[in-house]
A = this chain, B = another copy of it.
């Protein structure tokens, strides 16, 4: 295992000097910088990140907090994109990442989770879609023990950033498209889990769209669940001209209901999961680039870890027709 020591010897300088050029310290002469870099090359040296993490206080170790608890299968696709986007970017930025599934801490306290992260020398975390009633996650953020970027949230603060698309605007646009095309005068909006930022934002969007277009709105919750959306659509779908859903999966549920009722109603979803490509016949949806969002979140976390201040970053989305 070639170490920084070997490099130092090979380059004829002190260990600390090697460390300094490795970490781009100022006050290093170009000459020694080159000497060291040459030695690094020749020895194929790769610094041991575990040792670095141990010794340094601003260790570049971050955790991905994935919450699969949302009762949805197709969540796998999003989670996977999130994870791969984050890890790929982390590699570029020289950050080490551990992946934590929130369900693994189901019956643990916030303190236990914090201690676990600390035992891993984690200094930054990315939280994907923390619901407001997920106390542990909320307390985790509030603890301020870690730099923190939230995906699909609007938290900002000291060491806290968020990255998200404009859910309100996106919901507004897709709904408007549907309304215009279908000339709907009355629509059913199937909403998501109420304790979530995205649900509220999208709700605002649909309301605005309805108001502006003089459309009557029936709003029902389905907790992002396909089956529940199907039930809701069965019950209320008959009397409306179109159905707008806060997620693709719920849109599929609504679609099933319409099929069963032998009704043809325009439907739209939200997220752009690939399943829609198979079964979302002509359904409009909002496409999100999950892996890009996650990469941006990682970059933002990196910024926070350099003690820059928190911000909200808005990411592009796209209007898709399946």
Contacts and interface: CB of A to CB of B under 8 A. Distances in A.
Interface of A: 1, 44, 46-51, 53-54, 59, 61, 68, 73-74, 76-77, 79-81, 83-84, 87-88, 91, 96-101, 104, 111, 115-116, 118-121, 252, 274-275, 278-279
Count copies of this chain in the complex: 2
A interface: dominant SS: helix
Contacts of A50: 50, 53-54, 59, 61, 120-121
A230 to B, nearest CB: 13
9 contacts: A48-B118, A54-B54, A73-B77, A76-B80, A80-B83, A87-B104, A88-B101, A91-B104, A278-B278
Give the top 6 A-B pairs by smallest Cβ distance, nearest first.
A76-B80, A46-B119, A50-B121, A76-B77, A80-B80, A73-B274
Contacts of A121: 48, 50
A147 B199 CA distance: 46
Contact of A119 (B49, B68, B118, B120): B49
Contact of A99 (B79, B83, B104): B83
Nearest to A226: B278
A116 B90 CA distance: 14
A10 to B, nearest CB: 16
A48 B115 contact: no
Nearest to A84: B101
Nearest to A92: B104
A84 B88 CA distance: 18
B87 A101 contact: yes
Nearest to A121: B50
Query: Which of A50, A84, A87 has its CB near the most chain B CB atoms (within 10 A)?
Result: A50
